[in-house]
Structure 1
Amino acid sequence: MAGVAALGFSIALEIAARRYGLPGPLTNQAKEVVFAPASGPLLYASMALMMVVLTWRERFVAAGAAIGIDVAFLLVRWAFDARVSDGHSFGNGALWVILGCAVVAVTRRTGRERVLMLKGVGLGLLLVAGRKTGDTWLLVTSKTRPAVLDPYVAIADHALGSPSWLAGRLVAATGPVGEHVLDWIYAQLAVAAVVVALYQLRNVAAERRFPRHHLVRTFLVIGLLGPAVYMIYPVVGPVFTYGTGAFGTGGEQWAMANLWPHTPPPVSTPHPWTYDGVTPRNCMPSLHTAWATAIFIHSRRAPRVLRFAGTFWLIATLGATLGFGYHYGIDILAGVVFAVTIEAALRSFDHGWDRPGIQLVTYGTVVFAALLASARFLPMEMAARPWAFGPLLVLAMVSVVYGYVRTARLWNPKAAAPARKTEPQLEPA
């Protein structure tokens, strides 16, 4: 059912994109079988996820085949002087291996072995499809939501001290090295998620089944639901609405003023602002923050090196989202609440809906809605009383995080956990 729903959703987005004369997620994914992929690292990360169902020997064969195919593609492009202007010169091999494993599963496997391999292929393809689907979602937001709410969020953000303006100046002070490091961390968030997911799925091949709950599910649900919020709360970000062109970006003729990152916008009555039909309305909530929060949560019970990596990635992602002017402070708070609420809902779905789980999901949803509504309807009051609204905003986010830590017993693995029902080794197809 989940696969059918995902396919139906992708077809709907394909049709929506075609209405604007652009390829949709299915077309973009099919093109990467031959043409240069948009993200080679993401395709190899997807292949790594797929390989959790393979034996070590099969993994070495698959990895070698992917590299060999990429080398062949590289030689052909070099022979025909085919330049890769937008994307990576590698990654096709990984996609070919994923599709090849699907063929092997159907033609050479039977019973439980076939189901397990197809689940691995589906897991790898879901990560890629999630990226393509998200890109199309963002296209739809830019075409269907001409008016943005940035002036409201920017004024409300005075309650938090306009952190994006402060972070923007700090990142600029680090110079090109700091900017490039943060930009790479920001762009490769999915790869970081795969590293944590691979640890969680490390025993799939031996146990012949997937764990009940893992990071990939949370990651994909965040990516699916987030753009739906963008449709009802369109925001493009401070660097575009108030940008000066820092870091090679900026709103140019569409900007309200050239203020970021040196001068926060003056407190005045906000109104919707008409923006271009290209820039995604992808700020509220900050999905990069939500994804980094999910990585942080799922790395808490991993080895120390992964715990440190999860913490570092969260901090660096927060620095990038604010420092590059992609998000306001309230976006960050909303992103954390969004991620924790989804994580709580998925955990409750897996372990059974008990009273604490229902209460936490309900409370997180209410806090998330309150954050969005306050920035839309109370921006002047928030800017006029930062001493009251600033702490309230932070405490609202912290209260949701605290509720999750208590409910999930995140830092105490030995504590009593909800009783699990005995389950078969392999879920029915």
Structure 2
Amino acid sequence: MLIHDAQGRSTSPPKQVGVGRLLERRSLIVWGGIAGAVFALIAGEIIAAHIHALGPLTSLFRDYAGTPKSATTPWAGFLLALVGVNGRVRVTALAAAAGLDLIFVAVRTLDGRPFTVGNGPTIALTALTVIAAVRWSGTRRHTALRTIALGALLILATKVGEIWLDITAWTTPQVLDPYVQLADRALGNPSWLVGHALDVAGPVPLGVVRWVYFELPVAAIVVAIWQLRGVTTGPWPRHHLVRTFLTLGLIGPIFYMVFPVVGPILAFGSWGKGMELADVWPNIVPPVPSSVESMPFDSITPRNCMPSLHTAWALSLFIHSRRGPLWLRWGGMFWLVCTLTATLGLGAHYGIDLVVGATLCLTVESALRDPDRGWDRGRVRLVALGIATFTGLLLGIRYLALPMATYPFPFGVAILGVFAALAITFYSTWFAPNRDQDFLAPIAAPELDRIQVE
């Protein structure tokens, strides 16, 4: 009897304790995330009132009852949320969102206000959240609320990101564009080259890349929906595009304050409104000066060039599309090429911004990817290489800009060589045909069935 009791205590209670701790940890994460989101929204609204900008709560209120600032973001978040519900609910919610949007469009038209959409999905998403939380239960409720949280987080992150851009302009009166422009000579001044090429190409190519540049969330939602398409009937993927997108959006903007840059069309082009050093982009590359220093700029323009998050997001979209069907792979390639072309050709970024953004993407993706693998030697090596490359590029731009402009060839080879090494290591770690052999060899066959991939 004593032996029986001891055995019972050694098996059943620890399992219950383990499940309880897991649920408690998940609950803490959920409530911590909600608290963090509320704090960010309130803090952003207070700062926005102080600097006379559009706050995140005000912007969110306009999505409900006014004129939404973005037409695509509310729909993107709403469509992502619908992945976690069944077909009948999905059709009903879509019809409700579309009908509400039509009503708001009609009212705005009669009022003489500009045409836009976005109210319908915001209201429908809120209603769906209440229904799922109050009326549903079990797995259905959990799955629905999880995808709803992803969709809502995408929308709220955009709202907070908008005020963050205003904060970067308010807190950094000096920008480092002269340093970046000089360092960019090591890559052959690609922004000047692509900007001139788009001018020659005419309005159609320019219009295509401009649309792709501003509608990146559209492609991201397509890839995310494909990755999450089976969550209502099967397990969740261990890693998906939304995780990378949100992490990049959390980490990347920090460096806007550390390394404020406004872009060539503003610092060296016609959009400078009198603050530019010279109106020469994209026709004339400025001469190399004898010395370099930061330049003043207005308190309105966001300092959101370094790193290029458009490049980081487009590259992550491309990476996550690689294991999809043919149409998705070609779509990912198209979006990446057009985004890179637009970031340079529209004068929004220097070439080296793209290298830093791509480095950030590969580093973040390596930290998040394949969580079942753990932090083995391959992952640690790759993340460390990414951090070292990212840090080295920023330090080089800041303190070696003049030598980079004076001796562009060796510096250009070094920059591209280091990034190529990072990209090759990334591919060999995550995509090479034999990448999993060392990792999977010690795992028994039953355990392999439990591993979830993208």
Match of 2:164 among 137, 156, 160: 137
What does the per-residue CA deviation read over 1:6-60, in whole Å, with 9 as the maximum and x for residues that have no partner?
3333333333222213232232112211112122222222111101111111111
Q: CA separation of 1:423/1:133 partners in 2, compared to 1, >3 Å: closer, same or farther?
A: farther
Q: Is the 8 A contact 1:141 1:234 kept in 2?
A: yes
**1:74 corresponds to 2:105:** yes
Q: CA separation of 1:413/1:363 partners in 2, compared to 1, >3 Å: closer, same or farther?
A: closer
Q: Is the 8 A contact 1:300 1:411 kept in 2?
A: no
Paired position in structure 2 for 1:59: 90
What does the per-residue CA deviation read over 1:251-271, in whole Å, with 9 as the maximum and x for residues that have no partner?
120100011001111111211
Tell me the number of residue pairs that the alignment of Structure 1 and Structure 2 aligns: 415
TM-score with structure 2 length normalisation?
0.87
Paired position in structure 1 for 2:335: 313
Superposition deviation, residue 325 in structure 1:
0.8
SS at match of 1:302: coil
Q: Is the 8 A contact 1:340 1:401 kept in 2?
A: yes
Q: Which moved more, 1:67-76 or 1:369-378?
A: 67-76
Partners of 2:386 and 2:48 lie apart in 1 by: 33
Paired position in structure 1 for 2:391: 369
Q: CA separation of 1:413/1:61 partners in 2, compared to 1, >3 Å: closer, same or farther?
A: farther
Q: CA separation of 1:20/1:69 partners in 2, compared to 1, >3 Å: closer, same or farther?
A: same
SS at match of 1:38: coil
Structure 1: segments with no counterpart, 5+ residues: none
Q: Which moved more, 1:414-423 or 1:196-205?
A: 414-423
Paired position in structure 1 for 2:241: 215
Paired position in structure 1 for 2:403: 381
Match of 1:101 among 116, 128, 147: 128
Q: Is the 8 A contact 2:183 2:402 kept in 1?
A: yes
What does the per-residue CA deviation read over 1:318-350, in whole Å, with 9 as the maximum and x for residues that have no partner?
100000111111101001000010001112656
Superposition deviation, residue 118 in structure 1:
1.4
Partners of 1:424 and 1:165 lie apart in 2 by: 47
Q: CA separation of 1:295/1:82 partners in 2, compared to 1, >3 Å: closer, same or farther?
A: same
Paired position in structure 1 for 2:193: 166
Q: CA separation of 1:210/1:411 partners in 2, compared to 1, >3 Å: closer, same or farther?
A: same
TM-score with structure 1 length normalisation?
0.92
Q: CA separation of 1:421/1:31 partners in 2, compared to 1, >3 Å: closer, same or farther?
A: farther
Match of 1:4 among 35, 39, 64: 35
Amino acid at match of 1:299: S
Partners of 1:366 and 1:226 lie apart in 2 by: 16
Amino acid at match of 1:167: V
Q: CA separation of 1:133/1:351 partners in 2, compared to 1, >3 Å: closer, same or farther?
A: farther
RMSD: 2.0
**1:241 corresponds to 2:274:** no
Amino acid at match of 1:83: R
Paired position in structure 2 for 1:127: 154
What does the per-residue CA deviation read over 1:174-214, in whole Å, with 9 as the maximum and x for residues that have no partner?
1122221111000000111111111100101112x432110
Question: Runs in 1 of length 4+ with deviation above 3 angstroms?
Answer: 348-351, 410-425
Amino acid at match of 2:307: P
Q: Is the 8 A contact 2:239 2:371 kept in 1?
A: no
Q: CA separation of 1:411/1:336 partners in 2, compared to 1, >3 Å: closer, same or farther?
A: farther
Larger radius of gyration: 2
Amino acid at match of 2:251: L
**1:291 corresponds to 2:321:** no
Q: Is the 8 A contact 1:148 1:234 kept in 2?
A: yes
Alignment of structure 1 residues 402-421 onto 2, 5 Å: 402-409=424-431
Paired position in structure 1 for 2:272: 251
Partners of 1:350 and 1:278 lie apart in 2 by: 45
**1:83 corresponds to 2:83:** no
Partners of 1:412 and 1:31 lie apart in 2 by: 52
**1:230 corresponds to 2:256:** yes
Partners of 2:451 and 2:287 lie apart in 1 by: 61
Superposition deviation, residue 126 in structure 1:
1.0
